[in-house]
Chain A
Amino acid sequence: MGRSAQVSALEAERLSIAFGGVRAIDEVSLAIEPGVVFSIIGPNGAGKTTLFNLFSGLYVPLAGRVLFAGKDVTGLSPDRLARRGLSRTFQNLQIFFRMTVLENVMVGRHRHETTGVLADLLHLPSVRRQNRRTREAARAALSRVGLEAEAERRADALPYGALKRLELARALASEPKVLLLDEPAAGCNPVETKELDAVIRSIAKEGITVVLVEHDMRLVMNISDRVHVLANGRTLAEGSAAEVRSHPAVVEAYLGVHGAQEAANAFG
């Protein structure tokens, strides 16, 4: 394939991690090409979020390597990975609740800001100019998810669905190269999910690589260029949405864990 010459945006090489002797991720290898929407699916407890935590530096792997834009970043701290252009959202919200909606997104600009404690204490003109730029970029990110009207409200005054979009806006404001989305559609109604679909497409169109963990199979099958299936911490299958959907091992895994109803929902 001609595409194989390209350096992967994000790559796992025989990645493993164990908790209390149980291998939560067991020799998982995957390579994500730049600019695609790459979904990781699997039954509950398959290790999807654990894999995200390994990618974003929150966990250090027991074995294996993580490559970011072709460079070995295994064991690098989350903040250093973020400064290189890896951003993520969380399955259980991690919002700065005592800050305003706009300030939340401004924090997302942190990696693009030059910070000097002394300059900040004195509020030098350079700090004020930068604050203005940060504010503008944050507003732009908010309008992408339709939250610009809420900019000045305190984050804790927002409903759940809006908070999910706020996290997305915050991650977008960091202008990542790779964006990890951990169940962005969880708790969203069908209309919100449809909007999310459009937002994710527009993100991918900009050339940002999107890695998605999601239970809403309709969303996954709609927007994914590639789908990687995990079960019990191991790779079960990988392929296009159509390939994975009809893969016997995948169907069986879903049937075995959730029963026929779930499988019908998932692949119906």
Chain B
Amino acid sequence: MSVRDLSRHPLAALAWIVPIITVLPLFFPSAYYYRIGALVFIFALAALGLNLLMGFAGQVSLGHAGFLGIGGYAVAIGPAYLGVPAWLAIIGGAVLSGLIAYAVGRPILRLKGHYLAVATLGFGLLIAIVLTNESAWTGGPDGISVPRPALFGLNMRRSEPWYWLAAASFLLSAVIATNLIDSPTGRALRAIHDSELAARVLGIDVGQAKLAVFAISAAYASVAGSYLALFNGHITPDIAGFLNSIELAAMVVLGGMGSVVGSLVGAAVLVVLPQVLTILHEYEHIMLGLILMGCMIFLRRGIVPSLQAAWAGARR
């Protein structure tokens, strides 16, 4: 295989992330930076799942934080009440999220566009309300603490191991997402995005394909939610709140719909930027809003696809 062939391999786009992940910590002045880095990769994981749904299959979800919540509470309730080890609770949460997505998706994925957006929004709110009201299990609005066991023999109370775990998990999930895109299922999803009509007359079971990607994206969000809860050592129903759902959708659109790397970039911008902008004190949110608007006005296809197009145009 020549270098040119290698550079065209679907996984080539991910290869350059590895050195960045490994070199970046050399410039971290404090443990706080590991914390931010870990948060970037955790949110990137959830955004990537949502991107499979929104960017590839073209189906919007404004309730994806609901699955963050399910994953988060799985690692809070599983070990504390059911005696399940944390790693198993992560998997259990992902499976549960996938199943719930499958059940909820059957009626609502028939809807299109704005109607689907509102239906998923309702689903997210529903999860948040259940988490708030079932206080016997969830601790109510104040939330509950999440036991932080040693995972893989590492002390998971520190931020540094979380950085590596989150980064590795993101990479693995990016490989899986890339695999999916270059497969019959992935082609079917992208076909549905562009023309449901043509997809149907070519033999694609559109309903089934949408359900599959909804369940997969829910599982991604669930794992991210589990990590978030374990990382913070505490969880409240806010994790499933509307703001988180919107933030995930913003990461997907900002980074670039249908771009795996874009999910990471979108997450990085929306996690890091608010931290950087705190130096502006009361103008922080105004600046954040202006930057987001500017990004979408000047890079309207999202950061990564727009820059890729500009780069391809410059080389021609």
Contacts and interface: CB of A to CB of B under 8 A. Distances in A.
Interface of A: 56-58, 77-83, 87-88, 90, 94-99, 103, 106-108, 110-111, 113-115, 117, 119-123, 127, 130-131, 134, 170, 174
B203 A94 contact: no
A57 B203 CA distance: 11
B195 A122 contact: no
A90 B187 contact: no
Contacts of B258: 98
A94 B190 contact: no
B183 A83 contact: no
A107 B179 contact: no
B180 interface: yes
27 contacts: A58-B197, A58-B200, A77-B200, A78-B200, A79-B201, A79-B202, A79-B203, A79-B206, A90-B198, A98-B193, A98-B194, A98-B258, A107-B191, A110-B184, A110-B187, A110-B203, A111-B203, A114-B184, A115-B188, A117-B185, A120-B179, A120-B184, A121-B176, A123-B183, A127-B179, A131-B183, A134-B184
B194 A97 contact: yes
Nearest to A156: B194
B240 interface: no
B179 A82 contact: no
A83 B206 CA distance: 13
Output the residue of A80, A98, A119, A134 with the most chain B CB within 10 A: A98
Interface string B235-257: 00000000000000000000000
B46 interface: no
Contact of B188 (A94, A95, A107, A130): A107
Given A79-B205, A96-B191, A123-B179, A113 B198 contact: no
The 4 closest A-B pairs by CB, nearest first: A120-B183, A82-B203, A111-B203, A123-B179
A122 B205 CA distance: 21
A95 B195 contact: yes
Contact of A127 (B183, B197, B212): B183
B204 interface: yes
Interface of B: 176, 179-180, 182-188, 190-191, 193-195, 197-206, 212, 216, 258
B204 A120 contact: no
User: Which applies to chain A's interface (DSSP): helix, strand, loop or mixed?
Assistant: helix
A111 B188 CA distance: 11
Given A117-B212, A121-B216, A123-B179, A111 B202 contact: yes
A111 B203 CA distance: 6
Given A56-B201, A79-B204, A99 B194 contact: yes
Contacts of A56: 201
A103 B198 CA distance: 14
Contacts of A77: 200
Given A79-B203, A108-B202, 18 more contacts: A58-B197, A58-B201, A79-B206, A87-B202, A90-B197, A90-B198, A94-B195, A96-B198, A97-B194, A99-B191, A99-B194, A107-B202, A110-B188, A111-B203, A120-B183, A121-B180, A122-B176, A170-B202
B201 A82 contact: yes
B260 to A, nearest CB: 14
Given A117-B216, A121-B180, A121-B216, A96 B201 contact: no
Nearest to A86: B201
Contact of A120 (B180, B199, B203): B180
A130 B190 contact: no
A83 B203 contact: yes
Contact of A103 (B179, B187, B216): B187
B195 A99 contact: no
Nearest to B56: A98
A94 B176 CA distance: 29
A95 B194 contact: yes
Contacts of B190: 96, 98-99, 103
Contacts of A111: 202-203
A77 B197 CA distance: 12
Contacts of A174: 202-203
A175 to B, nearest CB: 11
Contacts of B206: 79
A131 B190 CA distance: 16
Contact of A95 (B193, B198, B200): B198
